[in-house]
Amino acid sequence: MGSGYSTKKHKRLNMVDHGSLKPLDLYNKNDAYDLTAVRESILSKKLAPFYKGLSNPFVIPIRFNKKKKDYMLYLMNKEKKLYDKLYSNSVECPICFLFYPANINFARCCDQPICTECFVQIKRGTADYNHPSASNIVCPYCMTPDFGIIYQTTSIITNEKVAISTTSGISDTRDTKRKSIDSNHPDVVLIGK
């Protein structure tokens, strides 16, 4: 009786913004990053959670189990509505070419999207470990030094719009490019920090 409750509670604790605290195995296991630090960044909402990447954002994979048909149909319908809202304005990660909810990470310098799975795979070169004070990782998109990301959470489920800082002022969408954010800004997550 109590174990069922703790399992449900444990499952809830592994979800943030309808995404996972654990990698979803898009890549092979990588010991080059600290999973505990990644989880802490996700929980503090400085890094997007791990979302399921979709090859086609309009085809949502939902499993169907023929047992308990009515209940499963109810759950499927509820899950589909959640996925429809999450992926309605999906964004393609230019590294893995999969689609993610619009509230994924964006490069601090050029505002390009990057999913958390790809971000944690970026490693410092061997020469960089000799100089731990310097990040030396450049943005994979615009080659700006000290590559870092920002994560701006929105309430996708309630359709709450969050104003986004842009070079032309405040915007409701990401249609205009925002200013580059300094790598020392408290909301920026850098590789290996």
How do residues 61-108 score in pLDDT, each as one tens digit? Answer: 555 555 556 655 666 677 777 777 888 888 999 999 999 998 899 999
The answer to whether residue 12 sits within a structural domain is no
Give the least confident one: 25-29, 46-50, 141-145, 176-180: 176-180
Instruction: State the pTM of this model.
Output: 0.71
Instruction: Check: CB of residue 51 under 8 Å from CB of residue 15.
Output: no
- The reported pLDDT for the residue numbered 104 is 92
Closest CA to 88 of 48, 67, 57, 122: 57
Residue 6 has pLDDT above 60, yes or no: no
The answer to whether residue 80 sits within a structural domain is yes
The answer to whether residue 1 sits within a structural domain is no
Number of other CB atoms surrounding residue 156 within 10 Å? 18
C-alpha angle with apex 111: 128 to 56, nearest 5 degrees?
105
The pair phi, psi for residue 192, each rounded to 5°, is 75, 15
CA atoms of 51 and 18, how far apart (whole Å) = 8
Q: How far is CA 180 from the centre of its chain?
A: 19
Torsion on CA atoms 78, 82, 83, 85, rounded to nearest 10: 140
The answer to whether residue 173 sits within a structural domain is yes
The answer to whether residue 13 sits within a structural domain is no
- pLDDT interval class at 139 (50, 70, 90): very high
The answer to whether residue 83 sits within a structural domain is yes
Q: Tell me the torsion sign for CA atoms 187, 189, 190, 193.
A: positive
The answer to whether residue 8 sits within a structural domain is no
Instruction: Check: CB of residue 161 under 8 Å from CB of residue 172.
Output: yes
What domain range is 40 assigned to? Answer: 19-190
Count of the separate structural domains present in the chain: 1
Residue 190 has pLDDT above 90, yes or no: no
Mean residue pLDDT of the chain comes to: 74
CA atoms of 59 and 19, how far apart (whole Å) = 18
- How large is the average pLDDT for residues 1-7? 44
Greater pLDDT, 124 or 162: 124
Closest CA to 18 of 113, 118, 156, 150: 156
The answer to whether residue 64 sits within a structural domain is yes
User: β-strand 91-92 against 19-20: which pairing, if any?
Assistant: unpaired
